[in-house]
């Protein structure tokens, strides 16, 4: 299941990010690829230790923590520090899968990758190609979103970034460990929470039907969560 989270960053915030990233010290992204994916990865990245990347990454994490749609869709328990990448001049990332376990020794963090996330920082009209193609049970789905929007997709899926043939595609990517590891169960919880949020406006704060739905939601989370 692919879920689009709109307006993670405002247009003004995107402009500030792009301004700061324009002078960033980009490095060859192949240095962070695995033994197999290095053969299909051609992009630029900012190192984890880059001060600019760390500061901008923290800004993204603060935004995600207060974004109701993201919280509902991900039920994130742990989040990998965002990584900034840039694709241009034919840059691409061929079909690959993300590592199941990701370790960040300097932070004492080990994360099981349940969800992958791409936050777009370039508008679609600014570049050709660069679609995120994620395989789903219904075939490959192409994603190319407005700047400031994010897509969540299962880390277990095969996916790729198609070659950028014009312009520049700048994104932030991250990986999440969810409190509910099962993609199907998490999707059911997301649908239920979306319905609760859609039905709640205009109803009394103590509406018994809404309260019962919330009761069911939290009991399902309690049953399925792994924390």
Residue 98 in marked binding region:
yes
Q: Which of 121, 171, 119 is nearest to 150 (CA)?
A: 119
Residue 67 in marked binding region:
no
Secondary structure element (H or E) that encloses residue 73, with its range:
helix 68-74
Is residue 156 within 8 Å of residue 201, measured between CB atoms? no
Give the count of alpha carbons within 13 A of 79, CB side only: 22
The 3-state DSSP class for residue 129 equals strand
The 3-state DSSP class for residue 69 equals helix
Terminal-to-terminal C-alpha distance of the chain? 23
Residue 169 in marked binding region:
yes
Q: Which residues are annotated as a binding site?
A: 96, 98, 159, 169
Which residues belong to the annotated binding site for 2-oxoglutarate? Answer: 169
| Positions at the binding site for Fe cation | 96, 98, 159
């Amino acid at each position: 299941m692919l879920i689009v989270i709109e307006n993670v960053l405002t247009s003004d915030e995107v402009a500030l990010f792009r301004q700061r990233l324009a002078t960033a010290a980009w490095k060859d992204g192949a240095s962070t690829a695995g033994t197999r994916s290095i053969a299909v990865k051609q992009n630029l990245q900012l190192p984890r230790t880059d001060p600019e990347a760390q500061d901008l990454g923290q800004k993204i994490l603060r935004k995600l923590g207060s974004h109701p749609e993201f919280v509902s869709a991900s039920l994130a328990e742990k989040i990998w520090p965002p990584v900034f990448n840039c694709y241009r001049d034919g840059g691409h990332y061929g079909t690959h899968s993300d590592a199941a376990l990701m370790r960040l020794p300097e932070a004492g963090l080990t994360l099981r990758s349940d969800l992958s996330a791409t936050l777009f920082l370039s508008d679609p009209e600014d570049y050709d190609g660069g679609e995120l193609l994620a395989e789903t049970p219904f075939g490959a789905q192409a994603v190319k979103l407005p700047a400031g929007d994010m897509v969540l997709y299962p880390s277990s899926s095969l996916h790729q970034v198609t070659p950028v043939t014009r312009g520049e595609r700048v994104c932030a990517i991250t990986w999440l460990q969810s409190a509910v590891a099962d993609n199907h169960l998490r999707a059911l919880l997301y649908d239920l929470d979306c319905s609760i949020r859609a039905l709640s406006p205009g109803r009394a704060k103590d509406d018994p039907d809404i309260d019962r739905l919330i009761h069911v939601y939290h009991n399902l989370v309690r049953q399925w969560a792994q924390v």
